[in-house]
């Protein structure tokens, strides 16, 4: 039996085991997927003793895991964050998850002006995805402005075609603001939102954040974080099992079981 896990601190809230066990059920794969609580002081012990076939990485280890790995794939290297490990190699599948969620919801990114709210690992993964999808402009807004400035410098180097613009078509929340249990909070105000905008959230609990609800009330198109979460997990399974699980999976049972676990 192959053994997989997700590591983080805290980890009790993680829905990754639900997602991966449903994948194993659908494909008849003999594998386990557990939540492993790793404290900062025990990360090195975990890495030294690790005998898993692969694992996902969540907050707060997406960056601090990197020195323990032998190599990074190209996207993890550029994003400087790892959410999937196979052998001694680190991968980033968050950017794939975001891109697939947007495509799956019929959102065209090419030639669109994009605002990323946040400046952490999710913001970098989304920024990388927007570069891959050839957005017209990518700008960052963050509570700590200096971090937004750093990411702007990073993206401009990565994407010389970036033409920072006052106009915004797509807004993506890459902060935890609005996540359960503080569900009334919104990451920015809504004065200028209308039916021409797309609002995407990386949060998936609740499925419809206050930010998305207000977007809907203004006529905007919305994308919730659950599709991104599912697609990043499927992309991890593609890496671990060496086959295109994501292409053959039946998404509806996965969505159903995950939605039943949300608050
Ligand atoms: N759906 C998915 O598959 C998926 C995948 C990855 C991440 N996510 C979600 O993305 C979000 C961010 O994750 P991350 O890994 O990027 O975290 P992170 O590296 O810790 O970054 C958090 C970002 O949010 C900002 N922030 C935190 N609390 C805030 C507050 N109260 N008000 C305003 N800004 C605040 C931080 O601003 P400062 O710089 O000022 O601290 C920082 O820019 C989380 O909600 C996570 O669940 C979802």
Q: Which two tokens stand for residue 193?
A: 């939102």
If you average pLDDT over residues 154-174, what whole number do you get? Answer: 95
Is the pLDDT score of 110 beyond 90? Answer: yes
In angstroms, the first-to-last Cα distance of the chain is 32
CA dist., res. 152 & res. 160, Å (int)? 11
Q: Is 112 a catalytic residue?
A: no
Q: How far is the CA of 242 from the centre of ligand 1 (A)?
A: 30
Residue with more model confidence, 88 or 243: 88
14-62 per-position pLDDT tens digit:
999 999 999 999 999 999 999 999 999 999 999 999 999 999 999 999 9
CA dist., res. 140 & res. 142, Å (int)? 7
Q: Which residue, among 97, 99, 96, 23, has the nearest Cα to 54 in the 3D structure?
A: 23
For the chain, percent of residues with pLDDT exceeding 90? 94
Q: How far is CA 230 from the centre of its chain?
A: 9
Atom of ligand 1 nearest to the CA of 124: 16
Whether this model's pTM surpasses 0.95: yes
Best of 122, 141, 179 for a ligand 1 pocket test (most atoms within 8 Å of beta carbon): 122
pLDDT band, residue 85 (cuts 50/70/90): very high
CA dist., res. 84 & res. 197, Å (int)? 32
Identify the active-site residue in 2, 21, 35, 62.
62
CA dist., res. 163 & res. 103, Å (int)? 23
122-143 per-position pLDDT tens digit:
999 999 999 999 999 999 999 9
- Residue 188 backbone phi and psi in degrees, to 5: -145, 170
If you average pLDDT over residues 225-240, what whole number do you get? Answer: 98
Instruction: Map out the domains of the chain with their CATH numbers.
Output: 2-92+227-259 (3.40.50.10860), 96-223 (3.40.50.720)
CA dist., res. 233 & res. 249, Å (int)? 12
What is residue 244's predicted lDDT score, i.e. its pLDDT? 86
Is the pLDDT score of 250 beyond 80? Answer: yes
What is residue 191's predicted lDDT score, i.e. its pLDDT? 76
Atom of ligand 1 nearest to the CA of 121: 16
Q: How far is the CA of 120 from the centre of ligand 1 (A)?
A: 6
């Amino acid at each position: 039996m192959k053994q997989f896990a997700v590591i983080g601190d805290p980890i009790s809230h993680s829905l990754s085991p639900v997602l991966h066990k449903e994948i194993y059920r659908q494909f008849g794969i003999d594998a386990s997927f557990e939540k492993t609580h790793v404290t900062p002081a025990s990360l090195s012990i975990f890495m030294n003793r690790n005998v898993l076939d692969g694992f996902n990485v969540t907050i707060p280890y997406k960056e601090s895991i990197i020195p323990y790995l032998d190599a990074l794939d190209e996207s993890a290297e550029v994003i400087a964050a790892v959410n999937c490990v196979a052998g001694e190699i680190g991968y980033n599948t968050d950017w794939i998850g975001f891109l697939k969620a947007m495509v799956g919801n019929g959102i065209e990114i090419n030639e669109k002006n994009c605002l990323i709210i946040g400046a952490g690992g999710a913001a970098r993964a989304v920024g990388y995805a927007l570069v891959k999808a050839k957005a017209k402009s990518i700008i960052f807004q963050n509570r700590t402005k200096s971090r937004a400035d750093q990411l702007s410098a990073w993206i401009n180097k990565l994407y010389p075609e970036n033409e920072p613009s006052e106009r915004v078509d797509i807004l993506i929340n890459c902060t935890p603001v609005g996540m359960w249990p503080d569900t009334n909070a919104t990451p920015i105000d809504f004065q200028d939102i209308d039916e021409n905008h797309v609002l995407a959230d990386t949060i998936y609990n609740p499925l419809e954040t206050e930010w998305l609800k207000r977007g809907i009330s203004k006529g905007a198109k919305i994308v919730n974080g659950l599709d991104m979460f599912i697609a990043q997990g499927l992309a991890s399974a593609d890496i671990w099992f060496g086959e295109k699980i994501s292409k053959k999976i039946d998404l509806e049972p996965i969505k159903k079981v995950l939605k039943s676990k949300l608050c």
